[in-house]
Structures are given as C-alpha cells and as structure tokens.
Homo-oligomer: A and B are copies of this chain.
C-alpha cells in the first residue's frame, strides 16, 4: 500500500498546474458567452494545451495520452479547479470524452474516421441523447425512443431533453439511445446510433436551464425532437441490443472523471472560502476567527481528503480488476462525491454572502454542477439501492 503518485503523474501534474496558472485562470474573468458557443478565447487555449502536450489526456490507448485511470484522475482534479474552461481547453470535456471512448472502443473504422478523428482533434463537439421528458429514464427499460430498421436505414422517433452540448451549432454528431426491440429482455432492448446534427426530422427545440443557467458557453442542454429521422444502418454503434452494455461501459471512466473534477471544484471552493474569511471583518472579528467558519473549513478539508482517496481507489480498481470489479467503488463515488462537494460549495457561498451567489465568483456555477451530478446518470437513490442490494447479498447465502 502506497499513497504516492508515480513519476508520470507527477510530471503531468506539474505541467498542468503551470498551464492553469499561465492560461486558464487569466481567462476566467472574461470567459462568458451570450449565445450557445464557447467564447473565442477557447480556441487559443486549445492550441496552447496541444502545444504543452496536455491534449486528450483522458483517453487510454493509442488514440490518446495512454494514461491509466489512476494516472489521469489527479489531472482531472486539477482541471476541475476551473471547470468551465480547463476541461474544454484540454479536450477532456463531458460528454465528448464518453463519446470518444465509445467510438474508440465500439465504433467501426468508418465511424472512427468520420467522427472520432475530428473529435480527437477538437474540431467538432458531440452529444449523448439519453434522457427523456416523459419517463423516468434512469431506468433504461422506460426509454420511449424507437430505432426501427427499414431496409438499409434506421428510422428514429423520440423525444429527448437535457442533451448537454447540443445547442452548440458546432456539436455535429449525436449518439442516440433508443429501443430497437422493446420486447427483448430488459438489457438488450436498447441500441445506440449516430445521428448527424443536420439529419432531416431532427429538431433542436430549445435549451433547458439549470438553476437559471443556460450553460451557453458549454453548448447548453437541448430538448430534441426526432420525427422519422433516417440514418444509414451503418450508423449503429456495435450490435442491435448492445446499447445498454455500451452505456454501462462509458459510465465507469465517466464517473471517475466527474468525481475527480468535483474534488478540484471543492479545493477551489475551500481556497476561496479561506481567502474570503481572511479578508472580511464583520462585528470586529475576522471571519477567519469565527468558530463556525473554522468548523466549515475543517470539515471541508476532512471531507475532501476522504472523497479523493475513494475516487483514487476506484480508479486503481478499474485499472487492476476492471470496471465490474470496481462496481461498488464506482457507485460509491457517484453517491458520495457530488453530495460532499455540494455541501462544501454551500459553505463557501455562505462565507461570501450575496456575492457568492453571483457571477463575480465561480462558486454558484460550481454549486450547480455538483447539485446536478446528484441527478445525472440516475439519481443517487437508484445507486444506493443497487449498492445496498449487493451488500445484502453477501449475507443471503449464509446459513
């Protein structure tokens, strides 16, 4: 047992920290979009990241940096310190990362050439269309979108919303989850298929807001209508009925990434809480000497350390025993990290007073990011139930 990062990780950390100081933090004040595209400065940041060898770090294997989950995790944490900018600058942003992983692992040569290549180059963006307004879509058997074979094509009909990134006109390709066979066994009813943005019948209807944010600089969260949308049969990813398995495969690394970025967000919030507490003096005593604020700071530090270690262990398990062996730990971090980080953000905001809720600090936007991750990929409650059942199963067979 050893808690030290390896040399590769330390090297990347050093370079990434320098990149944050030189490029990312200075861009924060003016990083704002009134529409659905990222601010122009993002392209400069992407070039700088490429030049610094900090590009596609998330992707294992030949297409990306080739890091293990355990090596990438502390880097994802650092990008989480400036979550609106750094992940995008490094081409390590959700949902593109998951989409690239899926294409790299399950895509045909043609699909990889057509979509993975420009995504890896940062030329286009992508979206993953899973959530539906009419049903509790955390249960994939509820999905109403149909993907029906018709000759050499598939015909897609359905209604999706909260499709992150899809308002961005440069989001050129959607991976759509739907049912090819509603009568099959519950985990082979679904398939995933590639739908280019400009396909007839696909309407990008509106952006959903999230606690008032449009997230325009990140491509928003779109409502999509699919009406007899036709794509070539070759657009199917993997096999018919393989959609559920593919979505499970993407969740493992996805959660490591989300959770490590959340750790970085929490570190940023704690830093801001401390500097604020040192700078304000209501009622004749610095905030930093108020017992309640000190309690928040100590609790934050302790909770961050605990959460980080659990994410790192989950990453290590994925690397050593695979996603399935890491199931409990992956579910655990999904349960605990967003809630933990939301708590810390709440305290950092409270320590700031009104300004903490505004556009003048990153805190409110980060709070929203943490809060929504208690819902994304299925609400925590679904994961807790599943985890509890596995725990209970350990005792079922006993005499």
The residues of A with any CB-CB pair to B shorter than 8 Å are 1-6, 9, 70, 131, 133, 135-136, 138-139, 142, 161-162, 208-214, 270-271, 274-275, 277-278, 280-283, 287-288, 290-295, 297-299, 301-303, 305-307, 309-310, 312-313, 316-317, 328-329, 332, 335-336, 349-350, 353-360, 364-365, 367-368, 371-372, 374-376, 379-385, 387-389, 391-392, 394-396, 398
Contacts and interface: CB of A to CB of B under 8 A. Distances in A.
Given A292-B291, A309-B313, A275 B210 contact: no
A66 to B, nearest CB: 17
Contacts of A358: 162, 208-210
A365 B305 CA distance: 29
Nearest to A389: B294
A398 B142 CA distance: 25
A291, A302, A329, A389: residue with the most chain B Cβ atoms closer than 10 Å: A302
B357 A294 contact: no
Given A139-B283, A282-B382, A301-B328, 18 more contacts: A142-B281, A161-B354, A209-B359, A210-B357, A210-B364, A211-B357, A212-B214, A212-B364, A274-B392, A292-B384, A294-B384, A294-B392, A297-B391, A298-B383, A298-B385, A306-B336, A309-B309, A357-B371
A136 B4 contact: no
Contacts of A372: 354, 357
Given A2-B1, A302-B387, A307-B306, A212 B295 contact: no
Contact of A381 (B295, B336, B355, B394): B295
Given A292-B381, A295-B292, A375 B387 contact: no
Nearest to A380: B350
B212 A282 contact: no
A388 B270 CA distance: 11
A10 B205 CA distance: 45
Contacts of A310: 302, 305-306, 309
Contacts of A135: 280
A74 to B, nearest CB: 9
Nearest to A352: B375
Given A280-B136, A354-B131, A395-B278, A301 B212 contact: no
Contacts of A388: 293-295, 297-298, 301
A17 to B, nearest CB: 15
Nearest to A277: B392
A138 B70 CA distance: 41
Nearest to A215: B212
A9 B281 CA distance: 45
Contacts of A309: 306, 309-310, 313
Contact of A278 (B293, B349, B387, B392): B392
Contacts of A317: 3
B357 A375 contact: yes
Contacts of A139: 282-283
Contact of A291 (B136, B281, B376, B385): B385
A50 B248 CA distance: 50
A136 B353 CA distance: 8
